[in-house]
Amino acid sequence: MSALIIDGKALALTLREAIAQGVQELVKTAGIKPGLAAVLVGDDPASAVYVRNKKLACEKAGIFPQEHRLPASTTQESLVTLIHQLNGDERIHGILVQLPLPSHIDTKIILQAVSPDKDADGFHPVNVGHLVEGDPIFVPCTPKGVMHMIDSTGEPIAGKRAVVIGRSNIVGKPVAMLLLHRHATVTICHSRTQDLPGVVREADIVVAAIGKPHFVTKDMVKPGAMVIDVGINRLPDGQLVGDVDFDRVKEQAGWITPVPGGVGPMTIAMLLQNTLESARRKAGC
């Protein structure tokens, strides 16, 4: 058996076309052009690539991109001041602060400085609370993309056993919460889980968000399971791989996402979607 591939690139392209259309309609009907501000502190090359890709994606969708590149020496106070300015900027409907931040800056304080109404990444505690309550306003982009990929298969989620590997605030916890709200029976595995392979083997849906290449192996996966690979890992030879041993696991799974071309493109599409939705809320439509 060979798994069906869930093509994140193709899904993201379709989404981005719909978003571009939505942007045009909002401009026409309400005179509002959605705007996204991206804040990058320091010169981490991977972060710089992410911010550049997000800017290009905004431009293609007709969203106004505002980029703020600050030196690594930026103080926490001046970063907070910038975010407060963006909170009050009428042209901006979404603010994203590219993580990780330099170690002298308290990430929690920065994420809490972003207005919950412009929190395109959905990381503000107010938005986390809405998500936990099951009534989210901004859903974090990667988890939102994961759910879209699962839904694209047409497979029901309710009643399924779902195992999320990784418990970060950015991916693992919100994905688990979204699956729970869709009535899956959810287990979160982490670095101290006992018999992790045994737990994963029970899953109908596996979401891997660990950051370790080829962590999920074929013997951990129930035949026919759906495997969503969030991981992005660079091997010493430069190859980009996920957390799942794709070539072998695809012989066992029913559906699988590739890396690259899986969850990554969905994350950017969902950032655009969140910005558009925020601008629509502002316009009252």
Q: Is residue 263 a contact residue for ligand NAD (CB under 6 A)?
A: yes
Q: Is residue 258 a contact residue for ligand NAD (CB under 6 A)?
A: no
Residue closer to ligand NAD by CB (options 31, 194) is 194
Shortest distance (Å) from residue 189 CB to ligand NAD: 6
Asked about 98 being catalytic, the answer comes back as yes
Point out which span in 13-21, 52-60, 82-90, 188-196 binds ligand NAD (CB under 6 A). 188-196
Instruction: Tell me the C-alpha distance between 12 and 18, whole Å.
Output: 10
**Which residues within the stretch 81-140 sit at the binding site for ligand NAD (CB under 6 A)?**
none
Q: Mention every residue, 6+ apart, whose C-beta is less than 8 A from residue 5.
A: 250, 255, 256, 257, 258
Point out which span in 28-36, 103-111, 129-137, 261-269 binds ligand NAD (CB under 6 A). 261-269
**Which residues within the stretch 197-216 sit at the binding site for ligand NAD (CB under 6 A)?**
209-212
Residue closer to ligand NAD by CB (options 21, 191) is 191
Q: How many residues bind ligand NAD (CB under 6 A)?
A: 23
Token readout for 169 is 């605030």
Q: Is residue 170 a contact residue for ligand NAD (CB under 6 A)?
A: yes
Shortest distance (Å) from residue 265 CB to ligand NAD: 8
Q: Is residue 244 a contact residue for ligand NAD (CB under 6 A)?
A: no
Only one residue has tokens 């759906």, namely 226
Set 118, 119, 121, 243: catalytic member: 121
Residue closer to ligand NAD by CB (options 61, 176) is 176
Token readout for 267 is 């994350």
Asked about 28 being catalytic, the answer comes back as no
User: Residue 205 in contact with residue 186, Cβ under 8 Å?
Assistant: no
Binding residue (CB under 6 A) for ligand NAD from 190, 198, 281, 285: 190
Enumerate binding residues for ligand NAD (CB under 6 A): 142, 165-168, 170-172, 189-191, 196, 209-212, 230-233, 263-264, 267
Active site (catalytic) residues: 54, 98, 121
